[in-house]
Amino acid sequence: MKQGKVIIISAPSGCGKSTIIQALFKLGDIQMEFSVSATNRAPRAGETDGVSYHFLTDEAFRRAIANNEFVEYEEVYPGRYYGTLRSELDNRTAAGRNVILDIDVKGGVNVKKMLGENAVSIFIMPPSVEELRRRLVGRATDSPEAIEERVGKAEYEIGFSKEFDHVVVNDDLDKAITETHDIIANFIGK
Ligand code: 5GP
């Protein structure tokens, strides 16, 4: 049985990564399944447990670490942990199914190193840091302090873009979706 492949999408927060992933599922021509991460952060309005994330308590997250349930996990923001569960990945790829990961930049670099040729890593780049700030303000899901925190982190994370297999600049959403789609289709087809 041919092993399934892993598609890693990383980007600083607010670069349109989730929108691009959703659009790819809507197009629906690439066989892939979304890896639902675990986190100890609280659900936002409209998020469903088990769909957006597996929402865990601090205690449950710690237990999952101790039980070696994660392929990787990161403290993406102070006190806020996110991790890729083995249960989301191993069985699916072993059964020949492809899995797409929406994970932070550090996690993306690490998973690519772990999986090598079986994974493709794609960095979604904002057109500029100023534009990114505008988008985060427009999204209105975070406080001004949280937005500044995310912008500062974005500047740092952009420095890691060279470690990714591909960089897609999201200045035009439709173009970014097409580019990402074609990179994945080409990789899966190989
Ligand atoms: P948010 O809180 O906005 O949903 O996500 C914050 C960040 O955590 C995003 O960059 C998202 O990609 C990242 N993230 C989500 N799941 C994982 C994961 O399993 N591992 C890592 N390392 N980062 C993740």
Distance between CA atoms of residues 126 and 135, nearest Å: 10
Distance 3 CA to ligand 1 centre (A): 25
Pocket around ligand 1 at a 6 A CB cut-off: 13, 37, 41, 72, 74, 76, 82-84, 102-104, 107
In this prediction, residue 190 has a pLDDT band, given cuts at 50, 70 and 90, of low
Looking at the CA of residue 80, tell me the nearest atom of ligand 1.
Answer: 2
Distance between CA atoms of residues 5 and 100, nearest Å: 9
Q: pLDDT tens across 7-59, in order?
A: 999 998 778 899 999 999 999 999 999 999 999 999 999 999 999 999 999 99
Closest alpha carbon to 148 in 161, 133, 158: 133
On the question of pLDDT at 68 being above 80, the answer is yes
Q: Indicate the average pLDDT of the chain.
A: 94
Q: pTM for the whole thing?
A: 0.92
Distance 1 CA to ligand 1 centre (A): 31
Q: pLDDT tens across 125-136, in order?
A: 998 989 889 988
What does the pLDDT average to over 141-150? 88
In this prediction, residue 169 has a pLDDT band, given cuts at 50, 70 and 90, of very high
Percentage with pLDDT > 90 across the chain: 83
